[in-house]
């Protein structure tokens, strides 16, 4: 099994990025519940025939849709070791917990947060953003709100984020009981960064209406174009207005790994909390998100509880405080930290930073090629690793139809897997270069394939 998956990874660039699943393969998943054992070799053979060929394709260099990471062999092997240990990192006294604590301390250092900042690994930035909203809410309302619930509160909390913010922030507001209407979508400039004047005006308006602004979410790499808000200015504003300053840094905040790119993130060190993903730009296999919180006491206050069956001790297996379960919603937690730890150690920060810089350089070169092509038009400036463009057409409807056809056709032909988004109302072909396997020549493969479809 190990040989097969290593071969698969070695040869991944030679196959299609993605292939549609044949009807018969899909139908075969409708088999009855297995009541009796099947030999491991047979189940593996079935995996090779029916599952492995029909993945999303994000290990392939030309998977450039959405923001998907490519993973590494080192990360894969660490996952195997972690599965072999089968550790539960909810708490207790064992080395895997120390591994996660070390990852958290390393990230505090990289982000410039205090050494004692708290953090924990979660499935992804969606979960990390949700936890951050809860921490900010409890920080504002006090720990009693955990028991009382929002129904007992006199204050109506409101939060702020640019209109380019990922939808999971609105969902975090829904899940936390505050409601997504209490998230004000602030306008953005042509560079897709938050409009600070609009932010200031909306906060003043809400205060005048008797509402209580409590949270501003900054973006370190918006999902559409990779725009980075003016984090320093947001930090100043949050401080002046006594707002919790959270940063959605899903992929962009990992630019701290690159000394050349890190200055773009100036101000990140002033955040009250940061959400990010190792499974995107840091090349760690899925899933591995991270929440960091500046003040560990405020973080713990939002979630900690100690029922009798989870009593802590100073010695024995029930020692090892603080427990990770006190910093989030999960009690049983896998050993995600090991693949992050292996990735940081085997590559080192400098090598990971170089990979991130290379993806940005490929994106700039791609944008230059697009600007040289008379049939294509760039739709947004390239601030990091994302390029949005569309075919120039007589009408907007023509262009939209072409964008849809081209993107689906590239995906179904297996040449590349870009996605789409809307930039200032225009449907765009969106190429996000995240995978370390992407090479400069892949730019031309993609553009040539697109031009061939424009006629």
Ligand X SMILES: *Cc1c(COP(=O)(O)O)cnc(C)c1O
Residues that bind ligand X (CB under 6 A): 67, 124-126, 166, 168, 221-223, 248, 250-251, 277, 289
Q: How far is the CB of 348 from ligand X (least distance, A)?
A: 24
Residue 171: count of CB within 10 angstroms of its CB: 16
If the CB atoms of residues 68 and 436 are measured against ligand X, the closer one turns out to be 68
Q: Exposure pattern of 266-276 as b/e (b: 16+ CB <10 Å)? A: ebbbbbbbbbb
Least distance to ligand X, CB of residue 432, Å: 9
Supply angle C-alpha 155, 160, 165, rounded to 5.
140
- Give 126 or 343: the residue with its C-beta nearer to ligand X: 126
Min dist CB 383 to ligand X, Å, is 13
- Comparison of 268 and 376: residue with beta carbon closer to ligand X: 268
SS3 6: helix
Q: Which residue is nearest to ligand X (CB)?
A: 124
Nearer to ligand X, 167 or 242 (CB): 167
Smallest gap from Cβ 128 to ligand X, in A, equals 8
The residue (of 274 and 447) whose beta carbon lies closer to ligand X is 274
Q: How far, in Å, are 1, 95, 238 from residue 102 at the CA level?
A: 32, 11, 29
Q: Within 212-308, where are the H helices? A: 231-241, 296-301
Contacts of 410-413 spanning 24+ positions with Cβ under 8 A: 410/446, 410/449, 410/450, 410/453, 411/17, 411/18, 411/65, 412/18, 412/20, 413/16, 413/449
- Rg of the chain over all Cα atoms, to the nearest angstrom: 23
CA 69/CA 349 separation, integer angstroms: 17
Q: Is the preceding peptide bond at 322 cis, omega within 30 degrees of 0?
A: yes
125 vs 385 by CB, closer to ligand X = 125
Q: Which is nearer to ligand X, 213 or 289 (by Cβ)?
A: 289
Q: Measured between alpha carbons, how far is residue 277 from residues 182, 219, 287 in Å? A: 26, 13, 8
Of 77, 104, 435, 106, the C-alpha closest to 289 is 104
Residue labelled with tokens 């101000």: 267
Min dist CB 42 to ligand X, Å, is: 34
**CB 251 to ligand X: min, Å:** 5
Q: State in angstroms the smallest separation of the CB of 150 from ligand X.
A: 24
Nearest approach in angstroms of CB 333 to ligand X is 16
Of 66 and 106, CB closest to ligand X = 66
Contacts (Cβ under 8 Å, ≥6 apart) of 173: 133, 159, 179, 180, 182, 183
């Amino acid at each position: 099994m190990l040989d097969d998956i290593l071969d698969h990874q070695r040869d991944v660039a030679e196959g299609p990025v993605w292939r549609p699943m044949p009807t018969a393969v899909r139908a075969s998943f409708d088999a009855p519940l297995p009541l009796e054992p099947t030999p491991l070799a047979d189940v593996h053979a079935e995996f090779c025939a029916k599952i492995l060929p029909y993945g999303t394709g994000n290990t392939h260099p030309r998977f450039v849709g959405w923001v998907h990471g490519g993973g590494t062999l080192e990360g894969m092997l660490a996952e195997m070791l972690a599965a072999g240990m089968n550790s539960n990192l909810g708490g207790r006294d064992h080395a895997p917990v120390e591994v996660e604590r070390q990852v958290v301390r390393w990230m505090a250092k990289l982000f410039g947060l205090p050494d004692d900042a708290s953090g924990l690994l979660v499935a992804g930035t969606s979960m990390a953003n949700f936890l951050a909203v809860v921490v900010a809410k409890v920080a504002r309302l006090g720990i009693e709100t955990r028991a009382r619930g929002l129904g007992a509160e006199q204050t109506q909390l409101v939060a702020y984020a640019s209109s380019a913010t990922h939808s999971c922030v609105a969902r975090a507001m829904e899940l936390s009981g505050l409601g997504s209407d209490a998230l004000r979508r602030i306008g953005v400039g042509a560079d897709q960064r938050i409009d600070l004047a609009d932010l200031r005006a909306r906060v003043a308006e809400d205060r005048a209406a008797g509402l209580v602004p409590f949270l501003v979410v900054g973006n370190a790499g918006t999902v559409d174009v990779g725009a980075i808000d003016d984090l320093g200015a947001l930090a100043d504003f949050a401080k002046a207005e006594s707002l919790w300053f959270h940063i959605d840094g899903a992929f962009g905040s990992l630019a701290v790994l690159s000394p050349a790119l890190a200055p773009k993130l100036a101000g990140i060190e002033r955040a009250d909390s940061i959400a990010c993903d190792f499974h995107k730009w840091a090349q760690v296999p899925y899933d591995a998100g991270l929440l960091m919180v500046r003040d560990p006491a405020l973080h713990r206050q939002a979630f900690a509880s100690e029922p009798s069956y989870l009593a802590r001790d100073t010695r024995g297996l029930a020692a090892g405080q603080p427990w990770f379960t006190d910093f989030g919603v999960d009690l049983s937690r896998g050993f995600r930290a090991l693949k992050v730890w292996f990735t940081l150690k085997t590559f080192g920060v400098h090598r990971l930073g170089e990979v991130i810089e290379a993806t940005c350089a490929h994106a700039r070169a791609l944008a230059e090629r697009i600007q040289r092509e008379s049939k294509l038009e760039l739709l947004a400036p390239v601030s990091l690793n994302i390029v949005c463009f569309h075919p120039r057409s007589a009408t907007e409807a023509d262009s939209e139809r072409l964008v849809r056809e081209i993107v689906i056709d590239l995906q179904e032909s297996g040449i590349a897997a870009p996605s789409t988004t809307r930039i200032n109302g225009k449907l765009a072909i969106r190429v996000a270069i995240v995978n370390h396997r992407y090479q400069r020549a892949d730019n031309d493969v993609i553009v040539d394939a697109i031009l061939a479809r424009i006629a």
